[in-house]
Amino acid sequence: MRTPDPNDRRAQQVTLAEYGQELADSYAPLMIGVLKESIFEELNESEVDQLVKLLKRVRDSATGLLEVAHT
């Protein structure tokens, strides 16, 4: 579903319809399992911890950029 972005007239916000969200939610556990098996099996516990910390920093930086862009 598309709705106008309240902060930017040029942009549209896209969200899943209820059925789409339910479908995505049902696949989430499967996808997490696949990621764990395919990516994390090659990393030891320390490497996984380090990766999680780095990904959180990336997420926080991206969130900060989005907040700045919308002010």
Pull the structure tokens for residue 47: 């490497």
The pLDDT of residue 36:
80
Residues 2 and 33 placed together within one structural domain of the fold: yes
As for how many domains the chain has, the answer is 2
Let me know: does 70 contact 62? Beta carbons within 8 Å.
Answer: no
Same domain, 33 and 1: yes
Same domain for 47 and 21: no
Residue 58: per-residue pLDDT: 94
Is the same domain home to 34 and 1? yes
Instruction: Tell me the pLDDT of the chain (71 aa) as tens digits.
Output: 899 988 888 999 999 999 999 999 999 999 888 888 887 788 898 998 999 999 999 999 988 887 776 66
Do both 4 and 33 map to the same domain? Answer: yes
Instruction: For residues 51 and 48, give the distance between their C-alpha atoms in angstroms, rounded to a whole number.
Output: 5
30 and 56 part of one domain: no
Range of the domain at 34: 1-38
pTM for the full model?
A: 0.47
